[in-house]
Amino acid sequence: MSKIIIGCVGDDFSGSSDAASFFAKEGIKTLLFNGTPMYDLQDSDENIAVVIALKTRTQETSKAVEDTLEAFEWLKRNGADQLFIKYCSTFDSTKEGNIGPIVDSALEKYNVKYTILCPALPVNGRTVTNGHLYVNGIPLHETHMKDHPLTPMWDSDISKLMEPQGKYPSLKLNYEILELSKETILGAIEDFGQDKEHFYIIPDYSEEKHAAKIVDIFGDLQLLTGGSGLMTELSRKYKNSIKTKSQAMTSLSEGKAIVLAGSCSKATLEQIEDFKSRNGKYIKIDPMALLDGSQTKEDIWEYIELAEEDAVLVYSSDNPESVRAAQKVGSHIVSELLEQTTAYLAKKASENGFSRIIVAGGETSGAVTKILGYDSYFVGDSIAPGVPVMIPLKNKSMRLVLKSGNFGQKDFFIRAINRTKENTNG
């Protein structure tokens, strides 16, 4: 049986591919599964990392907990030494959020006294200072994320975000404490936990050097939680145990490209405008037009099919005001309609010579991968930090790039198109 040196469970697909990319970049063979596999891994002498993508970020809480524990049981049955709960680097600010219940259930089931809460990803501007989460130096609740349509950010203090979600207290380790010796820090943690059944530790992580210290102190815990920031340092920790190097698969493919954008994040909106400014071929999905029948998914596909360009952008992304206006008819109705439309277009594209599918947004990514029927992937080169090219095990001619809404450079769509195109220098 393959030895799973670390088994990670993510709260959405794009975030899980983000996590997987960091392991792959450090030379660890990495498999990404969309949902808990129905089969066990085949025997092999390889050491691997495995990431299982779920949809627990906005799922009903009891189901989110159930699905996470099922994934963990699969990972442990297949030889996982260490478990990691991966969530978005902007955490989950809703009082009914699932991070607390999921972490608590894992602590209790596996009799783990404490774990860390570490959402930071400095390379993408997500840092933690004095226990507060910042985005590009701005407190989380003061950024545009305060207007997020599904999870509006109401505070930046991670301990306060956890209070209504979790059952246990938090211990903050600020950057000054992290300068102390490992023995001193572990002693303080032991003192804090003497009268507590379980608890959380919130380490500062505003500079890359903090990752090394955090992994040095906590890298052997049975259970870790956080964003992707620790993945590189954890991978380096494990590299010496890698017995075999797998043959890398090319990230290039000959077919046409389609970009499907559903995220309403500031980064994705800027990426859309950048693509349009370069005279790229594009079409907008209008939810109100879909509802009244003046626009249909068949109309959109016909536009795509007739395009002579190598790549076409299709987007439903919009500013918060427009999103709220559309949601007046029912947010779930609109969200489901947009996901169904995007999934339909992805399916038609895959059946008609498009072998490069680039998707922006976690929910959109989930809808696309579900309709395509892919549930397992090799993880390849990254287009941007945390955004790899993925090759489905069932269709090795297809290239998927799935990014969280906030990730990627301004010209990300152009980069993704060029760096997956056969016979291009990128």
Per-residue 3-state assignment (H helix, E strand, C coil) for 133-180: EEECCEEHHHCHHHHCCCCCCCCCEHHHHHCCCCCCCEEEECCCHHHC
- Look up tokens 């993945």; give the residue: 231
In order of start, what are the domains of the chain with their CATH numbers?
A: 3-241 (3.40.50.10840), 256-419 (3.40.980.20)
Q: Which residues contact 365 (CB under 8 A, 6 or more apart)?
A: 12, 13, 14, 17, 359, 402, 403
Checking if the pLDDT of 335 tops 90, the result is no
**For the segment 206-255, what is each residue's pLDDT rounded down to a tens digit?**
998 999 999 999 999 999 999 989 999 999 998 866 655 555 567 888 89
CB 231 within 8 A of CB 35: no
pLDDT band at residue 426, thresholds of 50, 70 and 90?
Answer: very low
CA distance 275 to 279: 7
Percentage with pLDDT > 90 across the chain:
63
Average pLDDT, rounded, for the chain: 89
3-state SS, residue 404: coil
Around 209, how many Cα atoms within 13 Å sit in the side-chain half-sphere? 4
pLDDT band at residue 425, thresholds of 50, 70 and 90?
Answer: very low
Around 356, how many Cα atoms within 13 Å sit in the side-chain half-sphere? 26
CB 41 within 8 A of CB 1: yes
3-state SS, residue 364: helix
Q: Which of 1-5, 45-49, 190-194, 227-231 is the most confident on average? A: 190-194
Q: Which of 364, 396, 394, 350 is nearest to 257 (CA)?
A: 350
Q: In what order do the strands lie in the sheet with 132-135?
A: 126-129, 132-135, 138-139
- Number of neighbours of residue 324 by Cβ within 10 angstroms: 13
pLDDT band at residue 185, thresholds of 50, 70 and 90?
Answer: very high
pLDDT at 97: 84
CA distance 364 to 311: 19
pLDDT at 142: 81
Phi first, then psi: what are they for 312, rounded to 5°?
Answer: -130, 135
pLDDT at 18: 84
pLDDT at 141: 79
Tell me 253's DSSP state: B
Distance between the two ends of the chain, CA-based, in angstroms?
Answer: 38
Checking if the pLDDT of 99 tops 80, the result is yes
Phi first, then psi: what are they for 52, rounded to 5°?
Answer: -110, 120
- Look up tokens 């340092």; give the residue: 233
Where is average pLDDT lowest: 50-59, 236-245, 252-261, 338-347? 236-245
Phi first, then psi: what are they for 102, rounded to 5°?
Answer: -65, -45
Around 186, how many Cα atoms within 13 Å sit in the side-chain half-sphere? 12
